[in-house]
Amino acid sequence: MADPNAVTNQAPPLQGVNFFTSDTGLGDALRPYADLSADPGLTEIGELAGTQEALSHALPANQNSPALRTHDRYGNRIDEVEFHPSWHWLMEKAVGFGLQAAPWTSERPAPHLTRAAGFYVWSQVEPGHGCPISMTYAAVPALKADADLAAEWVPGLSSTAYDPRRLRSADKAGVLAGMGMTEKQGGSDVRANLTTATPSGSGTEYLLNGHKWFCSAPQVDVFLVLAQAPEGLTCFVVPRVLADGNRNTFALQRLKDKLGNRSNASSEVEFHNTIGYRLGDEGAGVRTIIEMVAATRLDCVLGSAALMRRALVEATWHTSYRSAFGGLLRDKPAMQNVLADLALESEAATALSMRLAAAVDASIAGDEQAAAFRRIALPLAKFWVCKRTSFTVAEALECLGGNGYVEESGLPLLFRESPLNSIWEGSGTVNALDVLRALRRPESLEAWLTEVGLARGADHRLDAAVTDVLEALSDLENAEAGARRLAARMAVCLQASLLVRHSTPDVADAFVASRLAGDWAGVLGTLPRTTPFGPILDRIL
């Protein structure tokens, strides 16, 4: 007689899987732009990401939330945030892998594509610590608006040494960056900001007074902040510690009790004659910081693709070991349909995110076509991929049933985190409207047409979808109400074009049939019965 208390029919711990080399969809997404299949750095990241050591840090980092310390024992204002050791372990590895600003100073080929692949793989371990990593990456292109400030900060930002000490930047092995843009009354409408910046009479130094409703990663060393200078909204560099070693005024009011991960700290901050250094011209704040926004939007897409991939891996791993109704779940046709559909969503997100990263490398090298493509494809991808993440992660969680609803499985963390990237750096509607703005520049539409046109003739259903998009663009002046519908269709056409060209015929055909041709019931797991599930599932792990 079987022991009723014995633990049986459970999947073993997910370990011993290289998150890079086992990801066939990622390999296909990278191959057209660079040969990274045997890249030692990415292989190392993937190997560590799949160890029990790495995965064991995700839960403790989120079970032990950061703590705000506004004063020391003597009553001195310190405004510090304390983190669990697992947070520091994750950060040390991410910085050591060069996933923050290292690509901006790298001389290797395709540095931003390589970094994107690494960020995507490593984010599958724990998503929260990606915030300061992403902010640091994104700060560098904005800092290039001032050669002196760039010379002061970029070497530390691009260092692969993690140094959490509160010191002036000159005394640190590496520094990290954050940003403060949104305020209580404005949100995404940053031109409504009320924080003021008054020239101190010393060069580019200003005194800032006001607040920020969301200040990302308040524990880092320097922030890019928007404030109203005499000539209008302006961007400023605000260090936590000044050049003389004294702390800048940076009054942390509280840490946000937010949806999503619990490992990272988001805060509200007040400025009281806080010293900031003007970055770019007065009145050019949005134009100056827009490159930081663009870089963080890329990481939103990468982070969302990573959440999809990790959820897919968890669902596949569990169903490959869990038996029910007389056999393994993975062998059941209904479950195969679900897993294959999840795989299509994940591969399409990965393909588009890596295409965007390749466009960063090309545009930095002076490719105007790549720059135009990035301008239109980035808000498209940010809108669509991030919007699809909650939908995808929820279905993957359901594959684990009650096991997936338990915190220890890691799926609840992924689910809570899944809406974040759709909200951050402009919500879905903001990005859809950015697509309309980009389309008013002829080179943007031409770049989109050129990219999807590379697959012209390969699938008549994709060709028909592109024609539908062109018809919808006939009246851009009155297109706002349909902006989200248009952005969705354009994004899926991009994904389909990439899969048709670079993935397998099985994947491409199933994606086009369901996402463009309508042979789909709108929820995951409703692919046509004739879909070759086996070959699609074999690509997952």
CB atoms within 10 A of CB 184: 12
CA distances from 522 to 18, 519, 527, 538 (A): 32, 9, 9, 24
Q: How many residues does the chain have?
A: 541
List Cβ neighbours of 305 (8 Å cut-off, separation of 6 or more). Answer: 120, 346, 349, 350, 352, 353, 385
> Among 96-105, 440-449, 476-485, which stretch is predicted with the lowest mean pLDDT?
476-485
> Among 178-192, 226-240, 345-359, 381-395, which stretch is predicted with the lowest mean pLDDT?
178-192
Which one, of 191, 53, 214, 63, lies nearest residue 131 by Cα?
A: 214
Q: Output the six-digit token pair for 509.
A: 């055909």
Phi first, then psi, for residue 436 (nearest 5°) are -60, -40
Q: pLDDT at position 520, please?
A: 94
Task: Find the distance separating the first CA and the last CA of the chain, reported in whole Å.
Answer: 36
Q: pLDDT at position 4, please?
A: 86
Tell whether the model's pLDDT for residue 281 goes beyond 90. yes
CB-neighbour burial class of residue 21 (10 A; exposed 0-12, middle 13-18, buried 19+): middle
CATH architecture of 40-282: Beta Barrel (2.40)
Phi first, then psi, for residue 17 (nearest 5°) are -110, 125
Q: pLDDT at position 361, please?
A: 98
Q: How many CA atoms lie within 13 A of 207 on its CB side?
A: 7
CB-neighbour burial class of residue 166 (10 A; exposed 0-12, middle 13-18, buried 19+): middle
**Look-up of token digits 């359901």:** 398
The rounded Cα 335 to chain-centroid distance in angstroms is: 29
pLDDT tens for 29-49 read 999 999 999 999 999 999 999
Tell whether the model's pLDDT for residue 439 goes beyond 80. yes
Q: How many CA atoms lie within 13 A of 236 on its CB side?
A: 29
Facing residues of 178 across strands?
223
Tell whether the model's pLDDT for residue 11 goes beyond 90. yes
Which one, of 319, 448, 457, 293, lies nearest residue 376 by Cα?
A: 448
Q: Would residue 217 be called left, alpha or beta, if left means φ above 0 and alpha means ψ between -120 and 50 degrees?
A: left
Q: Output the six-digit token pair for 350.
A: 């990965």
> Among 85-89, 141-145, 290-294, 506-510, which stretch is predicted with the lowest mean pLDDT?
290-294
**Look-up of token digits 């090298």:** 365
- CB contact at 8 A, 208 and 271: yes
- CB contact at 8 A, 213 and 182: yes
pLDDT tens for 243-277 read 999 999 999 999 999 999 999 999 999 999 999 99
**Look-up of token digits 């940010």:** 382
How many Å apart are CA 30 and CA 86, to the nearest integer? Answer: 31
Which DSSP string do the residues of 213-241 spell out, in sequence order?
A: EEEE-TTSSEEEEEEEETTEEEEEEEESB
Q: Output the six-digit token pair for 305.
A: 């693709």
Q: pLDDT at position 425, please?
A: 87
Tell whether the model's pLDDT for residue 1 goes beyond 80. no
Strands in 293-371 per DSSP E: 323-324, 327-328
Q: pLDDT at position 395, please?
A: 98
Q: pLDDT at position 128, please?
A: 97
Residues 148-171, mean pLDDT to the nearest whole number: 97
Q: pLDDT at position 187, please?
A: 82
Q: How many CA atoms lie within 13 A of 126 on its CB side?
A: 30
Tell whether the model's pLDDT for residue 140 goes beyond 80. yes
- CB contact at 8 A, 268 and 194: no
Q: Output the six-digit token pair for 262.
A: 């619990």
Q: pLDDT at position 3, please?
A: 86
Residues 336-346, mean pLDDT to the nearest whole number: 98
Q: pLDDT at position 84, please?
A: 98
How many Å apart are CA 195 and CA 517, to the nearest integer? Answer: 50
pLDDT tens for 101-111 read 999 999 999 99
Q: What percent of the chain has pLDDT over 90?
A: 94
* CB-based burial, 77-112: b 16+ in 10 Å, e otherwise: eebbbebbebbebbbbbbbebbbbbbbbeeeeebbb
Q: Say whether 81 sits in a helix, a strand or coil.
A: strand
CATH for 289-538, among 3.40.710.10, 1.20.140.10, 2.60.120.560, 3.40.190.10? 1.20.140.10
How many Å apart are CA 225 and CA 208, to the nearest integer? Answer: 10
Tell whether the model's pLDDT for residue 186 goes beyond 90. no
How many Å apart are CA 438 and CA 449, to the nearest integer? Answer: 13
Instruction: Tell me how many degrees the CA angle 283-286-292 measures, rounded to the nearest 5.
Output: 135
DSSP H or E segment with residue 152: helix 147-157
Domain segments of the chain: what residues?
Answer: 40-282, 289-538
- CB contact at 8 A, 384 and 413: no
Which one, of 60, 59, 27, lies nearest residue 351 by Cα?
A: 27
Which one, of 102, 177, 142, 113, lies nearest residue 365 by Cα?
A: 113
Q: pLDDT at position 504, please?
A: 98
Residue type, 370: A
